[in-house]
Chains A and B, each alone.
Chain A
């Protein structure tokens, strides 16, 4: 537990160093509040003795003292209200700014860490870090200013009670820590079943998702009742957990509500006795009563803070796990003179948990001259896409080097390589933005050029049928594009980069074969552009000047399609492709 508190202190210190001004102002508001609260009770006490009692039970008071009493209540009350406002506003600002800082630093890492980081972390987890983890990690900052001022409040209150009578202070000392303890015990009692319930909610929702997603299959199999049973069981588990929460809450909450009231009754008893001894005035009893009514919540705040701390610390650890990952090295800017591609003894392997590394490419060498059209052929898992990723600088090679002209790709990085290479990947990705933005990345490209490129990839007709043309927003209001349309847009995007090397990694798999053939022949019209195609269709393969047959991590054969048909392994694959095409 000690370790947790030290880590929590560090967490607070970090946020404080990042955003000192709102933190300090919030703390200031909170401390003014502490004094205002006690001040208010003092005023009420004095108003009782000097205005209420004389006014109603005795000879009466002057209009002036009534006004002074009202004014004092008003002023102290107003400053109490203002201090709450200041605390809440600046506290919120400190929390929101801290959240903003973590969110920005996290997403910066996501963009700039080496690709292999992303193999280990699923996207859902990364999103959770920026969303719920940031929320939870900063949630202990929320009651922080208030909780710190509670310490001041306790000191001032005890002092105020001591001034009235030591016995009153004694009741407070005996009573209020138990409120903190009770709140903490309730929160920790709830957290178990509440987390369990949250898990059941997740389960329930994934059953609902799965079940309604697969409703067609379920109907064809006649499994409806089994699905309902499955759902009902989890719904009952959820109910049980939630009832557990309700039990803990109903065991604690009434006691927490009743304790300050009980304290008030004890005060009344003591107060009556001390009053009879002339030790206190009636106003002083009222003042103590008022203070007791107010102290209840701050004591609960402390309890909440204690339960929040461990969760926040754990969430911050998860965030720090990402923040500690090193980003890629800086790549120096360099000019690439020629678009000649050379792979020299390139190997690539990736780690497999609990096993030796999986070798994908093994000592592979390739030369591609500018302007050539090359087809990469190989069965599933032969390393075609890996080869593309290495060439574009997305990942470093394990051994060997790849050069573009005179430059080593490992020095260029993806940004450097992107000045000459435009890869179109199997999974097309479009931003939820306008088509124009997706195609141009915001560069000012004249409509004429965009239209020409769209024609080249046979995308002009469907783009201009859209009501907003290029300004249509992808994914908005059911604007859905078919897989083939998305692929064609991705090729257009690549062409608008005016690349010296165009790489199509199975980038036309969803495009209708006739259109695919047209696009490819359109693409070949530029003799200066190198074209590398990863393909599954014979028509595409046949277009290539040279076919590289990838097998066993190496280029096991190369030549034209017809030449390669004499290689048994290649011709078997070619036949499979042909059957699939019919």
Chain B
């Protein structure tokens, strides 16, 4: 007779989680399952034992109706009331019920553990795979998506594992068990029950689907509200100093009102579905009672069986409703699973290599032979680059945005492999080099200056984890950065904050330089920052860079003219081709691409400051 449901308690926030409605029809649920099981060996452990236990749990739900039937038909009906039978049936049932508590406990715990083990394994496998992918896969536009794979997509699966997966096993067994018992009592009444339920199933599906959609829209409204509130906080200075508070308040109130309206439109389904199934249940009971009493005698139906039947109708309703909700959750979970599996399927382009030819110490030469590069889904960005750079030279790579200069630098640091051609550093093919050797010989300093959320010292030590505290200090000294370190609130032990955000852009670059100095590579690849740095830090930065470059081959992706002027060799990239190379003065005379670039630089920076000298 259970007609109430838990969602009163939990509230709409925990309604079936209808994430993006992803269509996985083109893949098929079975295919996802097969791939998923193959990828998660934890799933197979003790699988059949769990299934058998779940069957036992489903069976135990029938205890009460069966006992009611037995007692009424065998103990209480007829002329003599047989109390001994009543006692026997009740105690037998009670024993089984107590046993079922332990069985259920073990089953739920097993299922829970299995799910958590699978999820943990999957999470770590995806994360580790993501780090093995080449940098070409980690484009800015994909970053958010990849992060979602190890976070929200796995959480989707978690929600499914905690409720949906268990419901599939237990509920479907319960439906089968109840139907079997019903049919055993009277197949005619089972037909009546099914006839009443047939319209329920499509109605329920439609309503549940609409509910899903409504909550999907609600989620969009919620993020719109949050968006407008966040704008009002982030743009507070502007909003206030332009007299826009009233208008902003109206915008936010509008968003809050829209959210409310959507909440109520989703509430239509929230308040309709449960009572609707309840009413179906009532109709089923009324029909069962009516037809049972009217034709029961001719079907050989006993009163105990009919009364038990009334209780059984409710045991059928709740798993049907629950499975309906689970079905949608299952679709999203499978879609999420598939997305995760696809990440694991992305091929690893740069496999780790443990042994390789020895690399000389000191400055290293660089040679490119017909190097080409194209992103997996995209145009070629480098075409047949041939160049030789001498050991110990300083090289500037220049070119417009999108000319391929940064890509070329990344290939030299082996953040991705050329799609054709070969790269040699210190005379050794990059692909032949052992990973460990490569990391100590070649060091790239990227422009984004990302830092880990720890101290300055620890961030520097990331350059060479085995370095001692003294070596870290030494590296700071050798770049003349002691005064800067001392100016920090806690010196070298200052915490840098998330992504290093407590430090300025320039200061983050300083940390990156010391990090490189500590590693002492023979080849240094520098990606110059484009963003502006405050003038005081800029001076320090330039000096530190000069010190860092001493005694190494340096390749700089240059955004500043002064860098190109100082270099021994300038490589000019244009539309993925190496169009000019030579020293600054020579290229300037040529009147080619470099000259144009030089003119625009000159126009930008020199014109204004020259006069002050």
> Is A393 a contact partner of B293 (Cβ separation < 8 A)?
no
B282 and A228 form a contact (CB under 8 A): no
Which of A111, A222, A269, A297 is close to B2, meaning CB atoms less than 8 Å apart? Answer: A297
Query: Which residues 456-490 in B have Cβ within 8 Å of A in the complex?
Result: 462-463, 465
Taken together as a complex, chains A and B put the C-alpha atoms of A429 and B94 apart, in Å, by 69
**Could you tell me the distance between the alpha carbons of A73 and B64 in the complex, rounded to whole angstroms?**
22
Task: Check B68 against A268 for contact (C-beta < 8 Å).
Answer: yes
* A423 close to chain B: CB less than 8 A: yes
B110 — nearest CB in chain A belongs to which residue? A250
What are the residues of chain A within 8 A of B108 when measuring CB–CB?
A: 246, 249-250, 253-254
Binds A, one of B130-138, B175-183, B332-340: B130-138
Contact B8 A142 (CB under 8 A): yes
Tell me the nearest residue of chain B to A264, going by C-beta.
Answer: B64
Indicate if B63 sits at the interface (CB-CB under 8 A).
Answer: yes
Q: Known contacts A238-B120, A296-B2, A579-B539; is A301 also within 8 Å of B8 by CB? A: yes
Answer whether A239 and B76 are a contact pair too, CB < 8 Å, given A77-B282, A213-B450, A429-B238: no
Stretch from B25-33, B194-202, B226-234, B320-328 that touches the partner: B226-234
C-alpha gap A563/B232 in the complex (Å): 43
Given contacts A297-B4, A576-B536, list 16 more A-B pairs with CB under 8 A. A44-B310, A56-B293, A56-B296, A100-B256, A107-B256, A242-B158, A249-B112, A265-B93, A293-B314, A380-B536, A389-B237, A392-B240, A415-B240, A431-B231, A441-B244, A536-B534
* Chain A residues near B542 (CB-CB < 8 A): 579
Contacts of A110 in B (CB 8 A): 229, 232-233, 236
Query: Which residues of the other chain, B, contact A82 by a CB distance below 8 angstroms?
Result: 275
Closest A residue to B296 by beta carbon equals A56
Q: Is A57 an interface residue when CB atoms closer than 8 A count as contact?
A: yes
Task: Known A63-B294, A107-B229, A217-B450; judge A73-B282 contact (CB<8 A).
Answer: yes
Q: Is B567 an interface residue (CB 8 A)?
A: no
Q: Which residues of chain B are near A69, meaning CB under 8 Å?
A: 289-290, 293
Task: Label chain B's interface by main secondary structure.
Answer: helix
Q: Inside 8 A of B131's CB, which chain A residues have their CB? A: 211, 215, 218, 224, 227-228
Across-interface contacts of B279 in A (CB, < 8 A): 77-78, 81
Does A526 lie at the interface of the complex (its beta carbon under 8 Å from any beta carbon of B)? no
Known: A127-B229, A201-B155. A580 touches B241 (CB 8 A): no
A209 and B147 contact, CB distance less than 8 A: yes
Q: Within the complex, which residue of B2, B64, B268, B436 is in contact with A294, where a contact is CB–CB below 8 Å? A: B2
Q: Which residues of chain A from 210 to 247 have any CB-CB distance to chain B below 8 Å in the complex? A: 210-224, 226-228, 231-232, 235-236, 238-239, 242-243, 245-247
A348: CB under 8 A from chain B? no
Chain A residues within an 8 Å CB radius of B116: 239, 242-243, 246
With contacts A293-B1, A296-B2 taken as known, whether A262 is within 8 angstroms of B97 at the C-beta atoms is yes
Residues of A within 8 A of B216 (CB): none
For B9, the chain A residues whose CB sits under 8 A away are: 142-143, 300-301, 304-305
Is the pair B247, A441 in contact by a Cβ cutoff of 8 Å? Answer: yes
Which residues in chain A, 547-566, are within 8 Å of chain B measured between CB atoms?
none
A338 to B484, CA, bound (A): 47
For the complex, give the distance between the alpha carbons of A576 and B90 in Å.
93
For the complex, is B169 an interface residue (Cβ under 8 Å from A)?
no
Task: Tell whether B562 is near chain A: CB-to-CB under 8 Å.
Answer: yes
Q: Identify 29 residue pairs between A and B in the complex whose beta-carbon atoms are under 8 Å apart, listed by A's number.
A: A69-B289, A81-B278, A84-B278, A85-B275, A88-B271, A111-B236, A111-B249, A115-B240, A143-B11, A205-B151, A208-B127, A210-B452, A210-B499, A216-B415, A217-B446, A227-B127, A228-B124, A243-B116, A249-B108, A249-B112, A250-B104, A268-B68, A272-B71, A276-B81, A289-B68, A305-B9, A512-B604, A513-B608, A581-B609
Q: Is B570 an interface residue (CB 8 A)?
A: no
What is the CA–CA distance of A143 and B108 in the complex, to the nearest angstrom? Answer: 26
> Which of B259-267, B366-374, B590-598 interfaces with chain A?
B259-267
Measured in the bound complex, the distance between the Cα atoms of B562 and A50 in whole Å is 103
Contact of B285 among A73, A87, A242, A276 (CB under 8 A): A73
- Chain A residues contacting B283 (CB-CB under 8 Å) are 74, 77
CA distance A85 to B247 in the complex (A): 39
A-binding segment of B44-52, B300-308, B577-585: B300-308
Least Cβ–Cβ distance between B514 and chain A, in angstroms: 13
Question: How far is A430 from B4 in the complex, measured between Cα atoms in Å?
Answer: 49
Given that A210-B498, A250-B112 are contacting pairs, would A95 and B226 also be in contact in the complex, using a CB cutoff of 8 Å?
A: no
Are B499 and A582 neighbours in the complex by a CB distance under 8 Å? no
State which residues 76-114 of A face B: CB under 8 Å: 77-78, 80-82, 84-85, 87-89, 91-93, 95-97, 99-100, 103-104, 107-108, 110-112
Residues on A with C-beta less than 8 A from B297 are 55-56, 60
Indicate whether B248 reaches chain A with its CB closer than 8 angstroms.
yes
Residue of B nearest to A83 (CB): B275
Interface string of A381-424 (1 = CB under 8 A from B): 00000000100111000000000000000000011011101110
Contact B290 A247 (CB under 8 A): no
Set B2, B4, B97, B446: member contacting A265, Cβ < 8 A: B97
Question: 1/0 contact trace for A564-577 toward B, CB 8 Å?
Answer: 00000000011011
Q: By the criterion CB–CB under 8 Å, are A536 and B535 in contact?
A: yes
Asked if B146 CB lies within 8 Å of chain A CBs, one says yes
B8's contact among A104, A146, A291, by CB below 8 Å, is which? A146
The chain A residue sitting closest to B279, CB to CB, is: A81
* Given A51-B293, A272-B86: A214 and B11 interface contact (C-beta under 8 Å): no
A40 to B512, CA, bound (A): 75
For residue A538, CB closer than 8 A to chain B, the reply is yes
Q: A70-B289, A417-B241 are in contact. Are A580 and B282 (CB under 8 A)?
A: no
In the complex the two chains form, is A235's CB within 8 Å of B124's CB?
yes
> Which of B294, B532, B603 makes the CB contact (< 8 A) with A66?
B294
Say yes or no: A576-B439 contact (C-beta < 8 A), given A432-B231, A536-B534, A537-B608. Answer: no
Interface centre among A40, A60, A255, A268 (most CB of B within 10 A): A268
Smallest Cβ-Cβ distance to A118: which chain B residue: B236
A492 to B100, CA, bound (A): 74
A393 to B245, alpha carbons, bound, how many Å? 14
- Closest chain-B Cβ to A113's Cβ sits at a distance in Å of 10
With a CB–CB cut-off of 8 A, which chain B residues contact A206? 498
Interface centre among B106, B127, B533, by most chain A C-beta atoms within 10 angstroms, is B127
Chain B residue at minimum C-beta to C-beta distance from A125: B233
Contact A131 B245 (CB under 8 A): no
Tell which of A276, A291, A442 has the most Cβ of chain B within 10 Å.
A276
Q: How far is the CB of B605 from chain A (nearest CB, A)?
A: 6
| Residue A152 CB within 8 A of the other chain | no
Measured between beta carbons, the chain A residues less than 8 angstroms from B172 are none
Report the Cα distance A78→B275, complex, angstroms: 9
Quick check: A118 and B241 within 8 Å, CB to CB? no
Q: How far is the CB of A580 from chain B (nearest CB, A)?
A: 4
Contacts of A262 in B (CB 8 A): 94, 97
A539 contact set on B, CB distance < 8 A: 608-609
Judge if B37 is at the interface, Cβ distance under 8 Å: no
A211 to B560, CA, bound (A): 30
Q: How far apart sit A139 and B260, CA to CA, in the bound complex (Å)?
A: 16
The reply on B13 being an interface residue by CB < 8 A is yes
Question: Is the CB of A325 closer than 8 A to any CB of chain B?
Answer: no
Complex interface: chain B residues within 8 A of A510 (CB): 531-532
Chain A residues within 8 Å of B146, by CB: 212
* Interface check B561, CB cutoff 8 A: yes
Closest chain A residue to B538 by CB distance?
Answer: A580
Scan residues 1-24 of chain B and give those whose CB is less than 8 A from a CB of chain A: 1-6, 8-13
**C-alpha spacing A110/B240, complex, angstroms:** 11
Q: Report yes or no: A273 in contact with B147, Cβ–Cβ below 8 A.
A: no
Q: What residue of chain A has the Cβ atom nearest to residue B440's Cβ?
A: A222
Within 8 Å CB of A427, what residues of B?
237
Q: Is A170 an interface position by the 8 A CB rule?
A: no
- Asked whether B67 is an interface residue with its Cβ less than 8 Å from the other chain, the reply is yes
Q: How far is the CA of A553 from the CA of B242 in the complex (A)?
A: 27
Q: Are B290 and A66 in contact (CB under 8 A)?
A: yes
Interface: A481 (CB within 8 A): no
Cβ A123 vs Cβ B296 within 8 A: no
Shortest beta-carbon distance from A312 to chain B in Å: 11
Given contacts A261-B64, A262-B97, A275-B76, contact A88 B232 (CB under 8 A): no
